Amino acid sequence: MSFKLFFLSTFRGLKNTAKVEAKRDQLWADFQLYTELQQSEDLKPYQELDQYVNSEAFKKEKSETKALKFAGSPEAKLLSEFKKLESDAKLKDFYVALNSADFQKFKLLEKSDTIKEFVALRDYVGSKQFESDKAAFEALDKTEDSVSFEQSEAGRKYETFRKLSNSEDVLFWTEYPSSKMHKHYKEMVNSHKRVRYEELKKEIETEAFQSRKAFLEDTDRWEKSEASQKEKTYLAMKSEPRFQVYDKYKNTNEFSFFVNHELLLEDHFEKGELDKSKWKSISVMAERTVGKNFSKAGDLQGYTNGENILQAGSSLKLAVKREKVDSFVWNFPIGFIPVSFDYSAGMICSAESFQLKSGVLEAKIRYQPNKQLVDLFYLSDDQNNYRLNLLEAGTVCQLGLSQNNNTNGSESLGGLSAGQFYIFRMEWGQGRICWTINNHEIYSVQQNVPDSPLRINMSSIVVETPRSLPHYFEIDWVRLYKNK
């Protein structure tokens, strides 16, 4: 008995076949999706988005953008300073005066000839020259024919000045500067306060400032940002099955088997008949010699030419039946002897294209041992001198290897449940042969395999009178991989 198998089966360490198969099928489907994506033009943009969205710079930008608000921002401070200046009474008066009709009138009068004449006369009348001219005139001896002061040049200038001083324009021009509006205008026109106010006004009226203000006040600012759009694109891609597969496996080596092996043969026996491009219902030796299947001396069954190979319910069944069969027995040194057998059986082997010197063979097989029979699933050379037994179930239940019909190493299958499907697997090459059942390594040997191609063989042998027939050796599927 295999203590390893007994321990695994007893303590439920042997994985459930259905779960092992489902996991492998999913892994294979994921690998195909992963490989397809690797060749797609969509992968590079996704990788770039993945790197960007998961970068510290993006996380910082997102956090800071969401935390932003207008209150307390530099823009809010500028706007607050502007509004404070805008409400300043003197600045208000400055701009009212600047845009008033009185101010415009004052500026026009200031440039007029009337005001220029008035200013000149005012300067003269208020000057020492005028006082001197007046005093000199008054000191002259007066006669009846003498002119009056009013008729003198100084007097005429004084009279003109007096008249201009009482004119509407001059009165306005002289009184306007004493108004509150004009005083505030004069105070603000070259002030730092006015300069700063106009700087701020110019700044807050720019498109950039208004855009920034609107951005800070918008509660959906992050969702409308370019960075958020990239994140949305990334998340949409990430939700696709192909990118989920990519993310799941990109940093693992779970696809290493599929990467390092090429599927050479796979058959789920779903066609309803044997696929002759993959299988032959006659052994290579029989085909090359007598041209018909034959049995070994001591065997109680005769092999039919495919009649005992059944396919139904997506599985292959090699049937052993109680019926007369005329066939041959190989008996050294006599040769091929015609014999009539009481039992018929079936056998198949892989076609010429499916032979390997190293690789992996796996099959889902119903473990149904019968002590009067032997079900065999093995690899062998065409002379059947060297065999790697994936399964031997019957009088002896084991897996291992044999050479020239002598067992070189084997492991008992005690502990497996009869009637249940198991996935048997064998990998050979590079000086080692390893057998697993449902992904648990059961047996291995360090041994070189002869340098000759090995093909798949399946058959049943009758060694004692069977108690119940028909018997079916059932295989659900087979896969053969070659090393890349």
What DSSP assignment string belongs to 189-243?
TT-HHHHHHHHHHHHHTSHHHHHHHHHHH-TTTTTTSHHHHHHHHHHHHHTSHHH
Segments in the chain below pLDDT 70: 1-13, 141-146, 404-407
Name the residue type at position 413: L
Can you state the angle between helices 101-110 and 113-125, rounded to 10 degrees?
A: 60
Question: What radius of gyration do the chain's Cα atoms show?
Answer: 55
For position 415, what pLDDT does the model report? 84
For position 143, what pLDDT does the model report? 59
215's CB contacts (< 8 A; 6+ apart) are 221
147's CB contacts (< 8 A; 6+ apart) are none
For position 372, what pLDDT does the model report? 95
289 class by beta-carbon count within 10 Å (0-12 exposed, 13-18 middle, 19+ buried) = middle
For position 326, what pLDDT does the model report? 94
d(CA 371, CA 100): 121
478 class by beta-carbon count within 10 Å (0-12 exposed, 13-18 middle, 19+ buried) = buried
Nearest to 281 by CA among 249, 246, 318: 318
Q: Would you give the DSSP letter of residue 414? A: B
For position 11, what pLDDT does the model report? 52
Q: How far lies 250's CA from each of 34, 239, 245, 393, in Å?
A: 9, 16, 8, 41
Average pLDDT across the chain, whole number: 91
For position 176, what pLDDT does the model report? 93
Q: Would you give the DSSP letter of residue 172? A: H
Q: Which domains does the chain have, with CATH numbers?
A: 264-483 (2.60.120.200)
Asked whether the beta carbons of 362 and 377 are under 8 A apart, the reply is no
Nearest to 118 by CA among 105, 108, 131, 109: 109
d(CA 279, CA 353): 10
Strand ranges in 352-431 using DSSP code E only, listed in sequence order: 355-356, 359-367, 373-380, 386-394, 398-403, 406-412, 420-429
d(CA 165, CA 157): 12
Asked whether the beta carbons of 295 and 328 are under 8 A apart, the reply is yes
d(CA 373, CA 462): 5
For position 404, what pLDDT does the model report? 67
